[in-house]
Amino acid sequence: MSKIKSKYFMCGFDGMDFPVLKSNIVHFPNLGKLWKRSCRGTMYSKAKITGISWTSIYTGVHKEKHGIRDMWGRKTDKSLDFVSTKQKYIWDYFNKHGLTTAVFNMPVTHPLRSVSGWLVSGFPAPTNSKIAFPDSIADDLPPDYLVDWINSCMKDRDLHPQVWIKETFDLTTFLEDLERMELARVETFIDLCKKHPTDTHFFQSTVIDRVLHIQGITNNNDVRVYRIADKIIKRIFKEFEPERFQIVSDHGGWDKQHTHTATWLTAGVSIKPGEILPPGTVKTNEVDVLPTALFWMGFAPPAGDPFDGEIFYDAFITDLNEEEQKKIEDQLRALGYLD
């Protein structure tokens, strides 16, 4: 069977820490294969808070502009939410350029907004609320589908699994449950993509962040936890053939703390494999993801330079002869990237 084509595939892992990934990469066959052909490195997460950082990844701007300041992107006195922010999201730009998109389980995508393609909200969304756009997509979700594991946090804080599970779980059972749940989620995504084809794809797993907040990620469990991410990558590459593939995280994590050392890993068309600069000499930031993706897709930047982020040119092949170089510069000029 032929694979599902994707012009751009973003695979999010909440809390994936680049230094942790890097130091253990030999244990992960599928991530390892991707690693070799990717441009990768620490992405400095300025906010290192889930709701804020994911929204900065999606919109290319910091919280002052997108207005989402709540850690889970809920609407409060001081924070907007997904439906009330005026910002355009990465998939809105793709839609504008005629590409449809599938947005699945990306954090802070509730309450629903319309999209050309389809969207299933990620963490967090209240139970018994609409989580799928258009409505017909909801009919194709398994009857027991949970928006994410912590699906009731906005209704009843006492039900927050971070509270009760601390007393009841042992690590092995916990990781087995988590793996089963996350792999089932990938299968749901794959089924939906087959049934409702789109040009671009967004998928996210919270597996790492869940362990981080409950058990802590340490030398004792890091390989076991990240191995679940490796299995997710295996499933994705078995089913999809992405022209451009990107792993991003909203922040890193170690012990029980969020860290600034998020993950940036891109592979595919025009990408120059190799490692980019580590923190301290940080070049990438969560707001750079969107402008870089638009450039990568060959789309002209939006009028008025709406982004806080910049294009991460270092990720792209520059080892060209004069003629090739000139051709690319002409294209960039035509798109408005060069004067």
CB of 53 to Zn ion, least distance (A): 7
Q: Closer to Zn ion by CB, 30 or 50: give it.
A: 50
Out of 250, 286, 288, 308, the only residue in the binding site for Zn ion (CB under 5 A) is 250
The residues in 108-127 that bind Zn ion, with binding defined as CB under 5 A, are none
**Of the ranges 189-197, 201-209, 217-225, 233-241, which one interacts with Zn ion (CB under 5 A)?**
201-209
Q: Which residues contact 110 (CB under 8 A, 6 or more apart)?
A: 73, 81, 82, 83, 121, 122, 124, 125, 129, 131, 147
Q: What is the dihedral of CA 93, 107, 75, 147, to 10 degrees?
A: 120
Name the DSSP letter for residue 139: T
Residue 101 pairs in a beta bridge with 117, 200
108 vs 290, beta carbon nearer Zn ion? 108
Q: Which stretch binds Zn ion (CB under 5 A): 56-64, 204-212, 267-275, 309-317?
A: 204-212
* In the complex, least distance from residue 144 CB atom to Zn ion, rounded to whole angstroms: 25
Closest to Zn ion by CB, 225 or 297: 225
Report in angstroms how near the CB of residue 133 gets to Zn ion at its nearest. 23
Q: Which is nearer to Zn ion, 30 or 259 (CB)?
A: 259
3-class secondary structure, 189 = helix
Minimum distance from CB of 331 to Zn ion (Å)?
Answer: 36
Binding residues for Zn ion, how many (CB under 5 A)? 4
264: exposed, middle or buried (Cβ count in 10 Å: 0-12, 13-18, 19+): buried
d(CA 302, CA 307): 9
Instruction: Find out whether 21 and 223 touch, Cβ atoms under 8 Å.
Output: no
Minimum gap (Å) between residue 211 Cβ and Zn ion: 12
Residue ranges of E strands in 188-250: 200-205, 240-242, 244-248
- Which residues, numbered 5-44, are part of the site for Zn ion (CB under 5 A)? 14
Name the site residues for Zn ion (rule: CB under 5 A).
14, 50, 209, 250
